[in-house]
Amino acid sequence: MILSDVDILDRIESGDLVVEPLDDLDLQIQPASVDLRLGREFLEFQRTNISCIHPNSEREVEEYVEETTVEDNGEFILHPGDFVLGTTHERVEIPPDLIAHVEGRSSLGRLAVVVHATAGLCDPGFRGKITLELSNLGTAPVALTPGMRISQLTFTELTTRAERPYGTDRGSKYQDQGGPQASRIQGDREFGGDQ
């Protein structure tokens, strides 16, 4: 079952579902979703002369990204073909009986801006700001302004609560993230990590 605006507001008011700060309920609560705003931090992928990135090399991943923070009243220009990691302004906490789906807003999609490549799911138990995988598929640069509504979350109720929700007990890599996070895939078991 997908939560309606009534269900979402009930869950938020009870404290079971956290989306904060919600500065304008009338604007941000949609019929079956919550609009999230763009944060100020971005991780830009550098065009370097390396032959490739090895996912199991934390050093290579860190060398490939550069953090940018947009000043107050500034904007981030997303050029055609660019891929950057952004973050939501809001922090969320997903209860163990829900999953949240990160979706783009159709108004930005019509400008060829997409908000996720593959990571469109927030697991039950996830806490933190959401990293957005921003791409410009169009032919013109698009100015993104921190504070603008950039994405939306829909919520699906599970048939039973997750027995092993996302979180520190599972060693979840992105729990409590406070901004965009580069890949931590090198922590996966197949690369010698414990996850």
- Contact predicate 36/131, CB 8 Å: no
The annotated binding site for dCTP is made up of 105-110, 123, 131-133, 152, 166, 173, 177
Count CA atoms within 13 Å of residue 23 on its CB side. 7
- Contact predicate 57/186, CB 8 Å: yes
Could you write out the three-class secondary structure of 130-144?
EEEEEEECCCCCEEE
Cα dist. 68→65, 75, 111, 176 in Å?
A: 10, 11, 23, 20
Kindly state the DSSP code that residue 73 receives in the 8-state scheme.
Answer: T
The annotated binding site is made up of 105-110, 123, 131-133, 152, 166, 173, 177
Out of 133, 157, 163, 190, the active site residue is 133
Is-catalytic flag, 133?
Answer: yes
Where in the sequence numbering do the catalytic residues fall?
Answer: 133
